[in-house]
Chain A
Amino acid sequence: MAEAESPAVVASGLKGVASDWADDKQAFHVPWGKAMMWIFLLSDTFIFSCFLISYMNVRITTTVPWPIPSEVFALSFGGEPIPLILIAIMTFVLITSSGTMALAVNYGYRRDKRKTVLLTLATAVLGATFVGMQAFEWTKLIVDEGIRPWGNPMGAAQFGSSFFMITGFHGMHVTAGVIYLIVVATRVGTGYYDRHRGGNYEMVEIAGLYWHFVDLVWVFIFAFFYLW
């Protein structure tokens, strides 16, 4: 199998899967940090899935009507309440941040330090905006509408516990992501990666994976909690 060691004959497709897994060598041809981030995200997928599945379970089991999210999350700007408008704006903010992150990764590969730093920081600012809007939403629900983890005036008591658990855990991920992005942007900007990693900006892509995952989770929360 000496031949298989040489990168010149790396197989692709299903044969590639077999040789990548079977040989006594590195399985994933990516930087180790990236493989580890993917495995962390896989585990996080299971955590968020457990939350969403438990939400599905309590929603199926309750004999009391489930509060209508479209009305609970409506917001009025002086006139008629617009259904779900705050959540729609939050969704757009998060997608915008995913776009700026994708561009930051791209400019990182182009070794354009200035644009990488600016786009990463823009992503962090949009993330912070999202968390701010979420804080506003929580305040409105707790103070104005009397929603608590153990009950609410609109219907099924489990609405509050599901809502605070799922969006709270997601908001915590966004907050952690903002801090992570600020650290990465600072390190790109101050030349830390140029000094310590031979000018390799792969950390930007790894941070990007985390950030896109946070956006990905929101796609599922938006569909199952707010729209369903």
Chain B
Amino acid sequence: MTQSAATHAEGHQQHPLGIYIGVWILLFVLSGFSYAVDYYHLEGALRWSLILIFMFLKAGFIVAIFMHMAWERLALIFAITLPPLCLLVFIGLMAVEGDYTYLTRLQVFGPAAEIVPPAHH
């Protein structure tokens, strides 16, 4: 048995300190970038795509390195990372439903009906 197979079989996760320090610095840099997106008032598709890119990069590094997922066996990786994919369906359904509710509200109440001041003002 190779050394790496042996350590995996016991779920033993000891890695060089440099990896952690590197990811740590990277997380600071990516958070700085995320904040910069807001600070410099980026708008539209550029803003949303940058927010998502930095978010997924940060999430990926935390799960893969800090939570040691990159060194776990595939059986555990699949068991934990695949079920959340169902959420994509849920998000899609709720977005469609949300649009429908929004359009219905516009049709029934008219635009911005809820902010019309009450009669006694």
Residues of A within 8 A of B (CB): 7-8, 10, 12-14, 16-17, 20-21, 27-31, 34-35, 38-39, 41-42, 45-46, 49, 53-54, 56-57, 59-64, 70, 83-84, 88, 91-92, 95, 98-99, 101-103, 105-106, 109-110, 202, 205, 208-209, 212-213, 215-216, 219-220, 222-223, 226-228
Contact, CB under 8 Å: B31 / A91 = yes
Contact, CB under 8 Å: B75 / A16 = yes
Contacts of B28 in A (CB 8 A): 92, 95
Chain B contact residues: over half helix, strand or loop, or mixed? helix
Chain A contact residues: over half helix, strand or loop, or mixed? helix
Contact, CB under 8 Å: A227 / B112 = no
Chain A nearest CB from B105 CB (Å) reads 5
By beta carbon, the residue of chain B nearest A43 is B83
Residues of B within 8 A of A (CB): 1, 5, 8-15, 17, 20-21, 23-24, 27-28, 31, 34-35, 37-39, 48, 51-52, 54-55, 58-59, 62-63, 65-68, 72-76, 78-80, 83-84, 87, 90-91, 94-95, 97-99, 101-102, 105-106, 109, 111-115
Contact, CB under 8 Å: A109 / B14 = yes
Interchain residue pairs with CB less than 8 A apart (24): A12-B73, A27-B79, A28-B79, A29-B8, A29-B9, A30-B72, A35-B76, A45-B84, A49-B84, A53-B91, A64-B112, A83-B39, A84-B39, A98-B27, A101-B66, A106-B20, A109-B14, A205-B68, A208-B67, A213-B67, A215-B66, A216-B62, A219-B55, A228-B48
